Structure 1
């Protein structure tokens, strides 16, 4: 008789297992999951009664010289419950479920953590950085790698010890082959809609790179689909989660700057990415400016209401489309922003955040080379003590994503919330094409 009916049930909050018992439970459930995938054991009549619980397995690892215990978590949704016990009919579908937890107390010297499993799609240059962050995370472990480029796939697998049977050329095969809680989408934005919708349809929550989609229509469709499927879709707006931005945000929120009057942002870089970015019609606006627009929303706590501007293709521009913009943005809090940015700069460069000057009633808040200063006199400024952050950028996003799922909260950069940042970039494209002011709401109402 399988072990699981004796230790886990609908009416029980926790089940305490030994290490050996936990492994037996997982093995039994894996077998049932495989039967489900083969078309056996699933009773559609009970599919609307989701009750789930995580099952854990164990791997010994050494991190920073200390032996710790990593627990994997898999959600299974039973389709039937008998007398408070789980029936043998399982779907490996991480649908909405109760917070039941299988725990172990077999060895006190090990630190016990519950790791969620994430499939990563996209292992190019940016994807390799994400793979490193997942490997270092204490919240997530990679369930599988997906990339159409075999070289990228092999490089990531060798770097992080991913078995060949968990490396795939397409997401659909990965979803049929491994159990996972979420998808990390680091593919080019043109593939975003198909991959994210497929994952959400399979019950996975999604953390995707910015921008949310290649077109505003696709972005709205993704945000709508996340609501429809009751899945979390979080956008990786990592520039928010660094000391400079959080310090400026806190300074203004505390009222130390007074009412904000206007903002100036200067950004100048000359990267040569190659690939799809250099083929985009407006590479700076569509791939980079969204970071700065999202930073603006984060720092001021306001949305972007209107934009206007002029794009420039410098004589030495190596991109197919215009890569320089001079723009004015207006927020719903009546703050005007002068935005001057280029991706084909020569000579001295700003850092990736750009240099900011935020003028307020009580002085000027300056962000320069990712340091924050406050000035009330013409020739002096003092450095503002930065917000202390133990994790930043992608590492923060992975933790924030895990926390949002655990607490059932909408992430700060959910697809729905992020629509304003993306809409502002597309409104700017419309503004430079038509040489007029464009309201962000105007674009959304046309959807």
Structure 2
């Protein structure tokens, strides 16, 4: 069995899930922590009972520990530097989203994986949920017919503090990629174009725009609409968003919490102004683990069986292209073609 010697980069980030996972996995060991702020790394090491060296430089950490895998949980602006350093040093990388702050950077990172023969996969934990997997499988079976449109509503009011409060496009850059990636996952389609209106509503505690409405044309001819806010107080949606998928035979809905439901036209009763429908609840069938654990399971399995992870950078670039296209559209006021 392959042994994974892991460096965790960015100890001040959301690293608890990653550390817990590594501690549980028999063939994985944390061999070092890296953070520009050494105190953050010391704190994280104490929290998890880790007796490992602490570094402020990733290259030195990899060289001294012999690491072959880097967990990148740094802030988005550091991802390119961390991933590039790790790949060039001969390490595979599992990283937090988004993979890059520009499409050019993302393409350079993919090119580097090809040059080094190493893998870079991105954490998209919201793909790895039983209920979204159930909804995806139902759409695949043609229960609601050909999908014409998919709609996601996302309304929450988290008070993070820190770097998010200062980001220019906080909702789109830091959070919407989850929903955009889920839309690709559900439809098995990729983005063709986007129009986005971004704004910062009254009462927002963010410097940048914390709300947005986006319309994506997808490669299968369907339309994906996103309506979201990260400064919406009261009546919150789930973090998984609220979903409605309309097809030629019916509609599927998922509130992000409970089982998805489907209503299809009752073919035995075609009379009347409004048709009658059959309703059913979609059961769970996927047996994998959920969230971060499920995504990390897939990443490790991909390395150990020499295949691409579901969230490999070569796939995830299509989700980040949706993000960056939406930002460009918001800036220019124009519809943007997405050429990935």
Matches of 2:232 and 2:208 in 1, distance apart?
A: 15
Relative to structure 1, the CA distance from residue 379 to residue 394 in structure 2 (aligned partners, 3 Å threshold; closer, same or farther) is: same
TM-score (norm 1): 0.71
1:355 aligns with 2:242: yes
Match of 1:261 in 2: 148
Q: Deviations over 1:14-56 (max 9, x none)?
A: xxxxxxxxxxxxxxxxxxxxxxxxxxxxxxxxxxxxxxxxxxx
Are 1:263 and 1:335, in contact at CA under 8 Å, matched by a contact in 2? yes
Q: 2:189 aligns with which of 302, 313, 324?
A: 302
1:325 aligns with 2:223: no
1:341 aligns with 2:228: yes
Match of 2:25 in 1: 137
Are 1:150 and 1:169, in contact at CA under 8 Å, matched by a contact in 2? yes
Q: 1:196 aligns with which of 77, 83, 95?
A: 83
1:182 aligns with 2:69: yes
Are 1:131 and 1:156, in contact at CA under 8 Å, matched by a contact in 2? no
Q: Deviations over 1:386-420 (max 9, x none)?
A: 13334122112222122111111122211121111
Please show how residues 420-435 of structure 1 align to structure 2 within 5 Å.
420-435=318-333
Match of 1:5 in 2: none
1:388 aligns with 2:286: yes
Indicate the RMSD between aligned Cα atoms, in angstroms: 1.7
Gaps of 5+ in 2: 266-275
Please show how residues 67-216 of structure 1 align to structure 2 within 5 Å.
115-164=3-52, 166-216=53-103
Are 1:259 and 1:360, in contact at CA under 8 Å, matched by a contact in 2? yes
1:248 aligns with 2:135: yes
TM-score (norm 2): 0.92
Cα offset, 1:139, TM superposition: 4.3
Cα offset, 1:382, TM superposition: 2.9
Cα offset, 1:431, TM superposition: 0.9
1:237 aligns with 2:124: yes
Are 2:150 and 2:183, in contact at CA under 8 Å, matched by a contact in 1? no
> Is the partner of 2:104 in helix, strand or coil?
helix
1:220 aligns with 2:118: no
Relative to structure 1, the CA distance from residue 230 to residue 125 in structure 2 (aligned partners, 3 Å threshold; closer, same or farther) is: closer
Cα offset, 1:125, TM superposition: 4.6
> Is the partner of 1:291 in helix, strand or coil?
helix
Matches of 2:169 and 2:277 in 1, distance apart?
A: 38
**Greater relative contact order (CA < 8 Å, ≥ 6 in sequence):** 2
Are 1:126 and 1:186, in contact at CA under 8 Å, matched by a contact in 2? yes
1:406 aligns with 2:304: yes
> Is the partner of 2:14 in helix, strand or coil?
helix
Gaps of 5+ in 1: 1-112
More strand by share: 1
